[in-house]
Structure formats: structure tokens, C-alpha cells
Amino acid sequence: MSTEVNTRSADQFLPIKERFEALRGAEAFMEEASYAAQIIAKNSSLMQCTAASKMLAVMNVANTGLTLSPVAKLAYLVPRWNNQLKAAECHLEPSYRGLAKLITDTGAVRHFLTGKVYEGDEIRIDKGAGLLEHIPAWSVGKKRGALLAVYSVATMADGFRHIEDMDVAELEKVRECSDAYVKWKKDPKKNSAPHEDWQDEMDRKAVMRRHVKTLPLTKQASEINAAIAIDEAAYTPVPRAADRVAELRRRVIEALEFYQGDDRELLREQCRAKAASGEFTEAFAKQVLAQLGTIEADAD
């Protein structure tokens, strides 16, 4: 792809250019904006996502320190339907490899791995001593049965192995918090979810997310925390009415950041006034988002 085409494809992300470059630099902005434009152009579902969500997803590339490079495979852009906004949104989803890279980049963890335990396996875990022995069923001539658990092992800089694990019941609880998974489980033919094709990676990331929260990390911890928060966004219980208003208010603020219309300051003042008077309702938020072109004007 020529430099001219790269520049044109990155133009849709100009509203976040300054903020992105402040974190990652001008060259990184051009690369990631170009990657994003190519990925979106090849995916009809991503093309239908709101403009604000696409820019936020690319901005999260800078916030996490990851890349959308199809070669590196550290993060992906995925579409998710937002029931509150009645619109499709683009989200950044860190991969298992991406999360592992962020963890080891801190220097506090030398090596990070995950494993899955099945019926027929032999396993012994002593978290206090940092010991884990896992003998797969196939290696001793046994037939592998159903999945029992998944574990992760972080080998720290001093050699100690920090261990975390989740059984299948805990994994299912995590999956049930994913709206996409619930819909897919009810009707696999009509709906789709990452769990359909990438269940192995989704399970490994589940234990990884929990493990990271207990690791003694310092350097680049903010990038890891950002990546974990982004990845956990897909696993959110149905919000209450008050939570819906708070979420809509956050989305209005984000949309106004990217909005380039002449009435941006006027809309901001209207939002501040509504918030101060306690009249920032779900209906008002959706009205503003419709004006910003983030959702359809007739969204319920």
C-alpha cells in the first residue's frame, strides 16, 4: 500500500491523532490507523460500527501499548452489539499472546504460560511452594476426557513460580457474563461469539486476567491494567437503570471528544447543565448521541 493511500485511510482517525501521538509517536499513529482502516474495510460488521467506537478502539491501542499488526497478532478489532444504544460498536480485544507480552515486558515476570487440565491427567499444585506438576493423559497412554480446569504459571524474576487456577464452574460463570456467549449458547445457528471458534484462547485469557490482578507488577502496570479492563468489558452483567445512565453519560463524553461539529461546545454546555440539575436522563443521552451521529435518532 502506498504512502498516499495509507495517509487517506488514516484520515478517519484524525480526531485522536494528537492524543495518540502523545503516547506512541507520529509513526505509530500512521501504522496503527492504517492497520485499523484496512481491518475495518475488510469486515462488513466493523464497517457498521459507530465512528466514535472505532476511534476509541484505536485510541486503546495507544493506551495498552499493543498493536493491530496482523503479523504480531497481539490484538484484534471486534464488533459488539450495544443493547442500550441499539448500535454496533467496535472494540479492541487483546489476544492471549498480547496479554502475555505485556506481562513479561514489565521485567517482573520472566515467563508466563497457561495450561488446561482434562480428565485422565495427573496434576499436583502447591501454590505456597510454587510447585506444579502436570502429566497429560496422552503421555501415559490414557484417553483424554472432559476439561476440568485451566491454570497459569508466572515465573518471577527471582525464579519463584506464581500459580493461579480456575475450574470449569468458574470458567462457565465468566462465560455467562458475556452477552455474546449467552446469545450464541441459546441459538448457535443464529448468533456468533468468540467462544464459538476461540474457546481455548478465551479460557486461557480468563485465568490470565484473574492472575494478573495478584501479581506484584510495577513497571508498565498501567498498560496491563488498561488491557485487562478492555478485555473484561465483554464480560459485563446487564446494568441497572442508574448504571445505564452512567454508561450513556460516559459515551456522550467520549463522543464529544471526537465530534468536530461547530455546535460541540454548545452540546457540552447542555450536558453540563443537565447533569447539574439532575436531568441527565437516558432519553436525553440518546438524543445527544443521535445528534452526534453515534446512534440512530429513533433508538429506544
Whole-number pLDDT of residue 278: 77
Distance linking the first and last C-alpha atoms of the chain: 42
List the Cα angle 103/214/134 in 5-degree steps. Answer: 75
pLDDT tens string 1-52: 444 444 456 788 988 999 899 999 999 999 999 999 999 999 999 999 988 8
pTM for this entry: 0.70
Name, in order, each residue with C-beta under 8 angstroms of 92's C-beta and a sequence gap of 6 or more: 57, 58, 60, 61, 64, 66, 75, 76, 77, 230
User: What percentage of the chain carries pLDDT values higher than 90?
Assistant: 44
Angstrom distance (rounded) from CA 290 to CA 267: 12
Between residues 270 and 242, which one has the greater pLDDT?
270
Instruction: Return the C-alpha cell found at 299.
Output: 433508538
pLDDT in the model for residue 194:
60
Tell me the C-alpha distance between 142 and 127, whole Å. Answer: 27
Domain ranges of the chain: 3-94, 97-217, 241-291
pLDDT digits (tens, 9 = 90+) for 85-129: 788 889 999 999 999 998 898 888 999 999 999 999 999 999 999
How much is the mean pLDDT over the chain?
A: 84
Q: What's residue 297's pLDDT?
A: 43
**Burial of 54 (C-beta count, 10 Å sphere; 0-12/13-18/19+):** buried
Residue 16 per-residue DSSP state: G
Q: What is the pLDDT of residues 248-261, one digit of tens each?
A: 887 888 788 777 77
pLDDT in tens, 218-269: 656 677 877 887 787 766 554 555 667 777 887 888 788 777 777 888 888 8
Of 42, 50, 59, the residue nearest 82 (C-alpha) = 50
